[in-house]
Chain A
Amino acid sequence: MLSWIKPHRVVLMLLAAGLVVYIATAMSWEWLPQFAGDLVAGVGVTLLILASTVILGFLFAVPLGLFQVTGPKPLALLCKGFCTLIRGTPLLLQLWLIYYGVGSLFPQVPWIRESFLWPYLREAWPYGVLALTFSFAGYEGEVMRGAFAGVPNGELEAGRAYGMTPFTLLRRIWLPRAIARALPTLNGEVVLQLKATPLVATITVIDVYAVTSKVRQATYIIYEPLLLLALIYLCLTGILVFTFRYFENRNPTRDV
């Protein structure tokens, strides 16, 4: 333990502590109590959007990756086309196309306006979740394609030799091995997805980024809300990274 304490580390730690003390005392934080409730709610919305789009997107990504490896050819081409389209265009463009494009067509159709879905279709968040889900599916589809293709053929043949049906083979060997291979990449992609979520603020969804914008507009204080926002995202990223590392370490099989 003592050997860990080196002069340069002590100096750096003191510098960091000094910076934190300076930021906390010399800058203005009197707006914080007033907006604390909004900030917590905003973090909740951000996490909800992240979790739902990562889960839904991954469910899409598995078939997207699998069909590109197994075929049939037309289906593989379709999946490849989808991934290329999503990965080749900016997410903001996709979001706005879905919200202001497709979304603004719905109200003109009378039976949609009268259906039970209308209260949801009027809201902005379904379009945000849809766009972010497509985006995650597009990127992960490509990752999963590589992961499926990378599982050694011998393992699959061994499964077949045991008389496993194709579905059992997928469930017991192919998918778990592919996910284990893709896990480090997925970690990075989930962090990227977290940092894509503030885009929903442009279509009137109030996430944590939108809350700090509101603070800035209401108080004309600029740097403090942005610093806090940076800290919040840094903490969320840290939690994500450590969670993934835990799962990676639980799986001791390294690729041979």
Chain B
Amino acid sequence: MSALLKKLVLVALVIIFSTSLAAAETVRVAFGAEPYPPFTSPDASGKWVGWEIEMIALVCKEAKLDCELAPTMWDGIIPALMSKKVDMIMGSLSITEAREKKVDFSIPYFKPNAVVVGTKSMKFAPTPEGLKGKLVGVQTATTHAAYAEKYFKDSKLKQYQTQDEINQDLVSGRIDATQADAPAMTEFMESKEGMACCEIKGEVAYDATILGRGVGVAVRKGDDALREKINAAIKATRASGEYQKLSMKYFGMDVYGE
């Protein structure tokens, strides 16, 4: 073996060893790479902020995990977990039967209600009859899209990549209504554009099989060690009162939803 070859092998070994070490230590946490305030949104400097981001930090601290934020396109977020590009998903991902076939969930750490927001110029109820013939925008691959496909059969559905784009089209009047998580819509209604164009029409009738049992942390099937750690950490943040403090800061109420 020549000297050069020996050196190359050594370098290669060092690289393999160090990357495998690094991979074992850090946990990559995925969330939707899109503005979804107050959960996740990039601030002016491009740093991710919001309740979800602080919650990730809190849970990781409790579980003594070295977490790394991994913003991921929403419609590919579960495939990213399955193909080991990320190690867990913590981004308003509702626990549904369809998703449980592919990934394992922690205990729920948040229960959002689903609301319909619509244009002020029309009066209608957040029901299939009320939305009959209306143009409804939903974010693709969400529980809301699945709900709308099942219940709003007489409405015209438009599927968007992000909630941000739906809100834009709601403001410009291209669609009549949208369905989304209540806290996100409350935040939108506090913006100048939201206030001018729209109002919250109310909550939709809850269907747990589609809207899920709340929001949980998703891990790969069989990754029980990580799941148990996270379950314990979520309970610990409840017991220490840090969860309640964070929830009050962002929502003015406790959103755990026992």
Contact = CB atoms under 8 A, between A and B. Distances in A.
Nearest to B142: A217
A100 B76 CA distance: 24
B17 to A, nearest CB: 31
Contacts of A210: 159
Contact of B159 (A100, A122, A204, A222): A204
A162 to B, nearest CB: 56
Nearest to B135: A122
A103 B174 contact: yes
A43 to B, nearest CB: 18
A222 B79 contact: yes
Interface string A215-251: 0111010100000000000000000000000000000
A214 interface: yes
Contacts of B159: 204, 206, 210, 214
Interface string A93-108: 0000000100111011
Contacts of A103: 172, 174
Contacts of A113: 173
Contact of A104 (B140, B160, B172): B172
A213 B140 CA distance: 10
A103 B174 CA distance: 9
B140 A217 contact: yes
A124 interface: yes
Contacts of A217: 75, 140-141
Given A104-B169, A104-B172, A104-B174, A213 B158 contact: no
Indicate the size class of the contact surface on chain B.
20 to 34
Interface residues on A, range: 20 to 34
A107 B174 contact: yes
Contacts of B158: 124, 204
Q: Which of A122, A214, A220, A222 has the most CB of B within 10 A?
A: A220
Nearest to B81: A220
A202 interface: yes
B79 A202 contact: no
Interface in B183-233: none
A12 B160 CA distance: 43
A204 B178 CA distance: 14
22 contacts: A100-B168, A104-B172, A104-B174, A107-B173, A107-B174, A108-B172, A122-B135, A124-B158, A204-B158, A204-B160, A213-B140, A214-B140, A214-B159, A216-B75, A216-B76, A216-B79, A217-B140, A217-B141, A218-B141, A220-B78, A220-B102, A222-B83
Interface of B: 75-76, 78-79, 82-83, 98, 102, 135, 140-141, 158-161, 165, 168-169, 171-174
Interface of A: 100, 103-105, 107-108, 113, 122, 124, 202, 204, 206, 210, 213-214, 216-218, 220, 222
CB-based closest 7 A-B pairs:
A107-B173, A217-B141, A104-B172, A220-B102, A107-B172, A204-B158, A217-B75
